[in-house]
Structure 1
């Protein structure tokens, strides 16, 4: 018996994604370096913020040491005011990622003082870093308020120090603002797109795991159904043979010996089928070749199945009409298992004087099987809590067939199982 099995490797956690496949060596190195910096930033964000803010503070103080006079509208601004404004533009950047709009608003008084005094500090362009973080993290409408926050000091400066035309003072800042905002939006869209791809990959992984679990559950159900059919039928045959042998032991020792021999043959056959079935559950995946190549029961095995039931003491009449043609192995197995389970129930519940008939008819578009017995077993004994009838219905439903099972009217009484299994269109 060959039953497919799906093996899954053990999972120890999500593996890191490698996005550098096919990239040049230099590109891969840069990507690895960037990923390390990002990982360090995720673990210790304050360290990175302190270092970056320190760089900005140092650059602002260098400009405040005297370089600001080269571009200032008024080079007589007090040094202490220049120092305060330089620190006001650079120190708030420590909180640029968590509160970018608040940082820009904190810079607004220093920007107004810078414009009104005519110092024209280069540190005022650090406002663009806050604008970049706003474009990265906040709703897009926040950029409108950010633009107003940047343009108000420009209007104050243009009014206090009307050097050149207004467009010469406004246009460069507008270009800078637009460029930084577009850069932030581009990075943001890329991050969101990458995050959506990662989420999609995670969802696909979850769906794959769910499909694997469903496949494993279906496989366990199929194996349980096969084991029920194999064990139930063979144990019923062995029980019938043992009862008959015990009855014949006193009057006919030869009949008793034949019964014991049949019990041994049936037991060996059951063990062989169980070994074949359980081999698919081996963890190492090294099932013996015999288990891999052994065929499943087919329609040609019905005669042997009926002979075994006859040997167990239940008279069975088998009739076959029509030509089975090229019936697929799965449908043949379904017919075989339904007949097997029906005869097993007849052995269990039919009583000592029961007889059974099996009629198999191969039509042009369907296979019809009717198993009838004359046993005395009624509804209570045939439709208990076991898996027999449920297993037959599950097998039938797999191929869009119908199964009817129930008692016959008295007299004469008995039980009938009728299977209607449609063929595939091309058969």
Structure 2
């Protein structure tokens, strides 16, 4: 994507581009200060010195004039306070403490020289520390000035007017610096919070995309396994039967069954690929048509392959919601596939399906369990079939168990809940007029 000249990339702390594009800050000077913060600090310190040094050097209206030594000391203190402003971004509270000390250590005649630098320092406290720290600094500095004024006024009662005027001007300078700093600091923190939230949303979007892609891959793998594994198992069993028989007519019939099974698998594969390529379908749409898999077809395929599968159905499966009906068919299909692969010597494969008012119960039991199978570990020796079935059952809110029973049989049992249905013939009564 081509970036316009009015956009700036806000990167990570390391400076790397994290994909977050923000408008460039308005104003040439503002952008210049943002790119050169150290130069801006030097300019602030120089301006503070130019505004404070003349006040320290020029004689004030205070009845007791400062001595030359006091004037030189005041200029040195002002210079040190201005130099401290160079660190106002990293140590705002400490810098304010240093710049506020001249308020109480210089003679009263030089107090106006100490008003500008603390005002700039308290601005930095509000911007780079917090509003709470700014008000605490303001209260502490104002209290110190009040105490200093009271002590100086008691020592020289004739100077009360001058001292009170200096106190008010100093407090007003601090208040102006604090209010401007609070306004700028709040805006700065608000923008930083917005940018941080935008970065978080960007990261969460990427995480959700990765999780969605992983879930989609799992869903595709599950459907592919159900289609390919079952049909190939049936095809292998039929091919072995055709190879073992010496009757050409019977072998021809078996090969026709192999072709029919393969065509059915191809049909399901095409249907699934069609769903994957359709951009208008919902992401939660089933990858295979719900009518592509049925319990009767799965049992019939196992019977054609020569396995003793028997189906017992109680209730009407057609009345079950399509999503649950599809899950039932896949469970039966995968259970029969596992029986054909792992229990080729089974004499019975009993498939029992009961449709009740609140749930669909499934029991698929075969008597060809292998010796030594651990009944306490139902998934022992399993590949992707049983985990895929558990995911499918969990998707519809059901439960599934699989394992050896009595050391001679292998059972897969599932219970899939059904949504509550209103009783037949129940209608809402209209209120009497």
Shorter-chain TM-score above 0.5? yes
Q: Which residue matches 1:267?
A: 262
State how far apart, in whole Å, the 2-side matches of 1:353 and 1:105 are.
Answer: 89
Asked whether 1:98 is paired with 2:90, we answer: yes
Runs of 5+ consecutive residues of structure 1 not aligned to the other structure = 1-10, 19-28
Matched with 1:305 is: 298
Q: Do residues 52 (structure 1) and 44 (structure 2) align?
A: yes
Matched, 1:257 2:248: no
Alignment of 1:29-44 (within 5 A): 32-33=26-27, 37=30, 40-44=32-36
CA contact (8 A) 1:61 1:83 kept: no
Question: Alpha-carbon deviation of 1:237?
Answer: 0.3
Pick one of 389, 395, 399 that aligns with 1:398.
395
Q: CA deviation at 1:53?
A: 2.6
Going from structure 1 to structure 2, the CA distance change for 1:353 and 1:152 (only over 3 Å counts) comes to closer
* Alpha-carbon spacing, 1:218–1:105, altered in 2? closer, same or farther (3 Å): closer
Q: Which residue, 335, 347, 354 being the options, matches 1:342?
A: 335
Q: Is the 8 A contact 2:271 2:289 kept in 1?
A: no
CA distance in 2, matches of 1:12, 1:357: 61
Consecutive unaligned residues in structure 2, runs of 5 or more? 1-15, 423-433
Q: Secondary structure at the match of 2:412?
A: strand
Shift of 1:188: 3.8
Task: Tell me the residue number matched to 1:8.
Answer: none
Query: How far did residue 341 of structure 1 move?
Result: 0.9
Q: How far off is 1:170 after superposition?
A: 2.8
1:125 counterpart (110, 116, 120): 116
Task: After TM superposition, give the deviation of residue 157 of structure 1 in Å.
Answer: 6.3
- Contact kept? 1:378, 1:407, Cα under 8 Å: no
Aligned CA distance change for structure 1 residues 82 and 37 (closer, same or farther; 3 Å): same
**Shift of residue 244, structure 1, vs aligned partner:** 0.6
Match of 2:426 in 1: none
Once residues 373 and 203 of structure 1 are traced to their aligned partners in structure 2, the CA distance between those partners, rounded to angstroms, is 53
8 Å Cα contact 2:233-2:340 kept in structure 1: yes
Partner of 1:314: 307
Please tell me whether residue 296 in structure 1 is matched to residue 260 in structure 2: no
Whether contact under 8 Å (2:365, 2:409) holds in the other structure is yes
Change (3 A) 1:225 1:108: closer
SS at match of 2:328: helix
Match of 1:417 among 412, 417, 420: 412
1:246 aligns with 2:237: no
Aligned equivalents of 1:114 and 1:409: distance in 2? 98
1-side partners of 2:235 and 2:338: how far apart?
14
- Rounded to whole Å, the distance in 1 between the matches of 2:280 and 2:97 is 72
Per-residue deviation, 1:333: 1.7
**Alpha-carbon deviation of 1:362?**
1.7
**Structure 1 residues 267 and 368: CA distance shift in structure 2, 3 A:** same
What is the number of equivalent residue pairs in this alignment?
A: 391
The alignment partner of 1:375 has SS state of: coil
Contact kept in structure 1, 2:316 and 2:355, CA below 8 Å: yes
In structure 1, what is the Cα distance between the partners aligned to 2:280 and 2:190? Answer: 46
Of 60, 74, 78, 1:89 maps to 78
Q: Contact between 2:295 and 2:328, CA under 8 Å: does it hold in 1?
A: no
The correspondence for 1:15, drawn from 13, 20, 24, is: 20
* CA deviation profile, 1:292-329 (whole Å, cap 9, x unmatched): 99852448733223222222222333333322354333
Match of 2:214 in 1: 217
Q: CA deviation at 1:45?
A: 1.8
Q: 1:103 to 1:396 in 2, by over 3 A?
A: closer
Write the distance in 2 (CA, Å) between the matches of 1:203 and 1:211: 12
**2:233 maps to which of 215, 232, 236:** 236
Contact 2:298 2:336 in 1 (8 A): no
Which stretch shifts more, 153-162 or 257-266?
Answer: 153-162
Distance in structure 1 (CA, Å) of the matches to 2:67 and 2:330? 100
Root-mean-square deviation over aligned CA pairs: 4.1
